[in-house]
Amino acid sequence: MASSADCASGYCPRVFLTYEPSLAGNAVLLALFAVLIPVTFALGIKYKSSIFAATVDTGLALEVVGYIGRVLLHSSPNDRSYFILFIIGTVIGPTFICAALFLIMPQIVAVYGEEFRSWRPDWFSYLFYALLTISAALELAGGIVSTIRDDSGDIDTGVRVLVVGLAIQLVALAIFIFHAMLFAIAVRTRHHTLDIKFAGIYNSGSFKIFLLAFSLATLLLVVRTAYRLVVVAEGYDSSIAQSEILLLILDGLMVLLATILLTVFFPGRVLPDSRPQTMTRRVSKTPLRPIRPAPYEQPSVHNSPTYYSSSIRSSRQAHSPKKSQYPIQPAPQRSMVDSDALW
């Protein structure tokens, strides 16, 4: 808290927290996030899922940084540098966990079949990763400006930028869930033949449990993002922002549980390969066309030593086929439909 002497002298230091953060609660979350980093890294090496593991570990490392700031705030609740560590780490860390979720979805689609998806594969990656990149950039900029400045106008600007970043992340998750629901409905209602090559995967109980864990992790991140959006929009000095219990449960615990689910039910255990480029089965964008036979070419006989025009003429007349009484109807052409164009 600011002293009366400081405020009377014209400088009143900014108050970030009105309470001392719990040392035990924040230290437990810090330790659990730190333990998950080597575990995820080892699983990524074992199951050849380096991109997924690196993305999750980046989010976990940022969470560790954030809760280091929380632990340090226990002794100095209004230290600006510690509060910046807390804000940057706990705000941007879950963004990378969301990116890891988006890495898994194309491989789930590849197991069931591309014909069930409700999006084009060329814009899936561009859309979601562009949204998360913009979200992370705005969260970083808004978090720094809203904490490093003391002017109320600059603080409000930083808070608005941070709110926009969190809102974009929430919109990305909402779009992701919407298309995932459409995909699930298509798998259950459409009469398409599943690829027998992956029958051992989509018929296994472990894969169904993995899908349940994947869905639950997504919902946990949605709850966390919605909560953090409300906290920032209300302001750092609001009652909801100053409630440590809500922060530990609706932010730290939600991210921790989502990451544990992705670690225990690691995608590489049930999916043949966690790299999207090797799993995606591309569908041809151009319709198949029937192969037309080459026109029949009679061999040249002009240079033959036994060639006589009269004999050839008589031979053609003798062996020419008779005209049929019924005209031959041309065979109907089958229209080739591009399955990719239906989407």
Domains of the chain: 22-274 (1.20.1070)
- Could you give the dihedral angle defined by the CA atoms of residues 99, 100, 103 and 109, in that order, rounded to the nearest 10 degrees? -110
For 343, what's the count of Cα atoms within 13 Å in the CB-facing half-sphere? Answer: 18
Could you give the residue ranges of the DSSP H alpha helices within 119-266? 121-148, 152-189, 199-202, 205-234, 244-247, 254-264
Q: pLDDT tens, 155-186? A: 999 999 999 999 999 999 999 999 889 888 88
Half-sphere exposure of 129 (CA within 13 A, CB side): 12
Q: What's residue 119's pLDDT?
A: 64
Contact partners, residue 170, CB within 8 Å, separation at least 6: 222, 225, 226, 229
Asked whether the beta carbons of 64 and 30 are under 8 A apart, the reply is: yes
- Do residues 59 and 95 make contact, with C-beta atoms less than 8 angstroms apart? yes
pLDDT at residue number 292? 38
The residue ranges of the chain whose pLDDT is under 70 are 1-13, 118-122, 191-193, 195, 272-343
What's the confidence (pLDDT) of residue 202?
A: 81
Residues 264, 261: Cα–Cα separation, whole Å? 5
Q: Cα–Cα–Cα angle for 331, 333, 336, nearest 5°?
A: 155
| pLDDT for res 189 | 81
d(CA 148, CA 14): 10
Gap between the Cα atoms of 274 and 121, Å rounded: 16
Q: What is the pLDDT of residue 157?
A: 94
Tokens of 97: 């966990």
- Given this model, what pLDDT does residue 45 score? 95
